[in-house]
């Protein structure tokens, strides 16, 4: 029984990886850099995106918005006149807890890839499952907010280990928390030594310029026309 | 292909429910009330438990601690001299994102059920998957912290809908947030009209007495010897 379960799970990941590669090829053909953005629920992904999408210079950005149901976040971003496609995850394998490559694939035709340089995929708020599924992205960014505690890298290591940038959000609240920032940074280094990290506050704007510049750099690095 | 996927998922839930019933029978035989506690990562489940486990009067409590890996939370609770069993979820079906009935089943022999009145199961920090898996509990409690935003009930409806009590934690931070508490409570009522909710702060102790009393009442209601 246990072997059967493992086989089913392995098959699902194999199928996912195959589709992720097809997505990657489509994105490459369109000259589009893709960033997969992940975090726990309420860490501030949407607000961090709202803060930068109008301010990326020549980089033309679109957003793929993953949610179990509803379009609250997509509506917020669409109001900024950015191309946004909503994916609701209800019909996915194993439920609704992440975006998989096939869900992203189904959304690609609705994005004007030829007119974009960057697609940000806002994944479902979850520190576990999204990290297990490649969707065809170039880079992974994760957001951890200081209100979540210092232990999260140790408890959700895969998420912290598979990302290229950690945004430490809500630092404006540090004076009001019993929170040891050094310990968080130390724990991040334990699971992903030397990974780039930025202290930001979507609320006050602290660190937002560095986050915007990082996105611009990722696009430039991919050789897309900026 | 899609039908096959649905079939696999349905079979997994059926198997889970069968095992959950077996757990329930074991708990009943031991005269134990079981509370399944769920939340997003970092919402404060462990601290809310630390606040009450030494203060439950005649109610003898044990804890089942679910984490992907490590025993950080179990160590915190064990230091309070409460029987704690750690479950690491790595080997579970579909990964590591929740406790299922079989993981709980494997831990039951390590709990002294005959000497307990209450078992609190601290689930993996995740607002999606844990809600889909019954583990043999009497009641579900979820914790939502005010730093996560007002929209969470609308975005993670199953979690809010299947619980009996919502603990709204970290209310000590309200003066420092752009947060509309009325809107959160309104959104909770939208997905689970009239569900009991308590405003609490694990940090300052606000509302902790009500939370402790709720646990005592749940045990008394089940007719366990208190």
| A9-40 pLDDT per residue, tens | 778 788 999 999 999 999 999 999 999 999 99
Mark yes or no for CB contact B97/A126 under 8 Å. yes
Q: Chain B residues with CB inside 8 Å of A96's CB? A: 128
**pLDDT > 50? residue A94:** no
Identity of the residue in B70, B147, B156 whose CB atom sits nearest the CB atom of A147:
B147
Instruction: Enter the ipTM.
Output: 0.88
pTM exceeding the 0.80 threshold for the entire prediction:
yes
Q: Summarize pLDDT for A78-91 with one digit per residue, the tens.
A: 899 999 999 988 75
Query: What is the arrangement of strands in the sheet containing B61-67, beginning at the earlier edge strand?
Result: B84-88, B61-67, B118-122, B33-39, B139-145, B165-169, B196-199
Q: Are B126 and A127 inside 8 Å of each other by CB?
A: yes
User: Of A67, A128, A203, which is closest to B126 when you measure between CB atoms?
Assistant: A128
Query: How confident is the model over A196-220, as a mean pLDDT?
Result: 97
């Amino acid at each position: 029984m246990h072997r059967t379960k493992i086989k089913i799970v392995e098959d699902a990941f194999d199928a996912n990886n195959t589709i992720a590669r097809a997505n990657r090829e489509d994105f490459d053909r369109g000259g589009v850099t893709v960033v997969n953005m992940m975090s726990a629920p309420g860490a501030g992904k949407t607000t961090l995106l709202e803060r930068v999408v109008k301010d990326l210079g020549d980089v033309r950005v679109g957003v793929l918005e993953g949610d179990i149901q509803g379009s609250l976040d997509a509506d917020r971003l669409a109001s900024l006149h950015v191309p946004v496609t909503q994916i609701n995850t209800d019909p996915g394998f194993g439920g609704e807890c992440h975006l998989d490559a096939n869900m992203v694939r189904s959304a690609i035709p609705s994005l004007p890839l030829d007119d974009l340089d960057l697609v940000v995929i806002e994944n479902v708020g979850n520190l576990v499952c999204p990290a297990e599924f490649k969707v065809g992205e170039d880079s992974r960014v994760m957001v951890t907010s200081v209100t979540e505690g210092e232990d999260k890298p140790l408890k959700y290591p895969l998420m912290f280990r598979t990302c290229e940038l950690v945004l430490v959000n809500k630092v404006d609240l540090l004076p009001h928390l019993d929170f040891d920032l050094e310990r968080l940074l130390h724990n991040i280094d334990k699971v992903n030594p030397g990974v780039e990290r930025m202290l930001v506050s979507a609320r006050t704007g602290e660190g937002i310029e560095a986050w915007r510049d990082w996105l611009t750099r990722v696009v430039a690095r991919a050789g897309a026309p900026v």
